[in-house]
Amino acid sequence: MSGAVLARRRWASPLWVGGLVVAAIAVLAVIGPWITPYDPTAFAVRVRFVPPSLAHPFGTDEFGRDVFSRVLAGAHYSLAIGFGAMAISVAAGVPLGLLAAFSRGIVEAAIMRAVDLLISLPPILLGLLILAVTPPNLWKTILAVGLVYIPILTRLTRSVALGLLEEDFVEAARARGEGGVSILAREILPNAWPAIIVESGLRVTFAILLGSSLSFLGLGPQPPSSEWGLMIAESRQFIDQAPWIGLAPGLCLCALLVAVNLFGEGLREQLDPQLRGRGDG
């Protein structure tokens, strides 16, 4: 295959398409609050329920607020929940998994039983439980979603690390007299990262889904913020009259989820040969 074909293929790959869309949404999310054509929370009773038009591309809602401005101002929530939650579960799950793999014995047993326990609770219940008792806000939603995926990453990291600990190059490092920390940093982690990145890349979609579901149930950012799941929930009572209020954030959420999913699948495609080569299929 010629270089040009290869290059074209790479540009059309899910990794690039998904990555570009996610990057575009991320840019919009960051600058969104400053470029909204209208104030996303200002009421304007004279223009309630205006259908999409040039002045209001996504129409207006029951308070006359510009839906386009609200969607733009709320774009950062889903990204923050998805990637924030993933960051939390990687930050907690990876060290726990490594600790379990290295320590064996009672520490490993304690960690793995706790993991079994958390996994045996249906994901949304964990979120409901945390958000039910204290007033919900964005940070608690991120934390609740992150907590759900910690056990999954702990399990994954432990099994990858256990596999690596059996490898010859770790044996060689031990023979060279390297200590535990050095083996961890120089032999295990660099080889475990691909699997961890692939798993977290694929989980971001589910983290965004779970986060927006919680918001939809009223357990995320509170009104008047314009988190997309919350906007969809609030639009329900006007669905006959003004479907655009819910459709606009809904379609944006779908675009984001499809792009993130594409990106995750693309990451896996890129990194998987490496994983397969190491033989943990």
Partner 1 sequence: MDGRHKAGHDVGGIASRRRAAMTGFVLRRLLAVVGILWAMSVLIFGIVHILPGNVAYSILGEYATPASIAALEARLGLNDPLATQYWRWLTAMLQGDLGQSLTMDRPAGPVIFDALGRSAILAGISFVLVVLLGIGGGVYAATHKDQASDRALALGQFLFIAVPDFFWAILAILLFASWLHWLPATGYERIGQVGVMGWLAHLILPVVVLSLGLTAHVSRLTRSVMLETLESRYVLAAYAKGLPRRLVLRRHALRNALPPTITILAIDAGILIGGIVVVETVFAYPGLGRLLVFAIERRDLPLLQAGMMVLTAIYAVANLLADLSYALLNPRIRYGRSAA
* Contact set with partner 1 (CB under 8 A): 116-117, 120-125, 128-134, 205, 209-210, 212-213, 216-219, 229, 232-233, 235-236, 239-240, 243, 246-247, 250, 253-254, 257-258, 261
User: Is 253:229 a contact under the CB 8 Å cutoff?
Assistant: yes
CB 202 → partner 1: shortest distance, Å?
A: 11
Question: Counting every residue, how long is the chain?
Answer: 281
If the CB atoms of residues 200 and 205 are measured against partner 1, the closer one turns out to be 205
**Residue 55 and residue 47: Cα distance in Å, rounded?**
11
If the CB atoms of residues 87 and 255 are measured against partner 1, the closer one turns out to be 255
Burial of 278 (0-12, 13-18, 19+ CB in 10 A): middle
Among residues 194, 133, 185, 128, the alpha carbon closest in space to that of 160 is found at 194
Other beta carbons within 10 Å of 212? 29
Among residues 73, 67, 63, 62, the alpha carbon closest in space to that of 36 is found at 73
Q: Where are the alpha helices (DSSP H) in the chain?
A: 3-11, 14-35, 67-73, 75-103, 105-119, 123-133, 138-165, 168-175, 180-183, 189-216, 228-235, 244-278
CB 273 → partner 1: shortest distance, Å?
A: 17
If the CB atoms of residues 40 and 250 are measured against partner 1, the closer one turns out to be 250
CB 132 → partner 1: shortest distance, Å?
A: 4
User: Which residue's structure tokens are 């998805």?
Assistant: 82
CB 257 → partner 1: shortest distance, Å?
A: 4
CB 134 → partner 1: shortest distance, Å?
A: 5
If the CB atoms of residues 2 and 120 are measured against partner 1, the closer one turns out to be 120
At 195, which amino acid appears? A
User: Is 173:185 a contact under the CB 8 Å cutoff?
Assistant: no
If the CB atoms of residues 164 and 209 are measured against partner 1, the closer one turns out to be 209
If the CB atoms of residues 6 and 125 are measured against partner 1, the closer one turns out to be 125
Q: Tell me the HSE value of 239 on the side-chain side, using a 13 A CA sphere.
A: 8
If the CB atoms of residues 170 and 230 are measured against partner 1, the closer one turns out to be 230
If the CB atoms of residues 102 and 244 are measured against partner 1, the closer one turns out to be 244
Burial of 210 (0-12, 13-18, 19+ CB in 10 A): buried
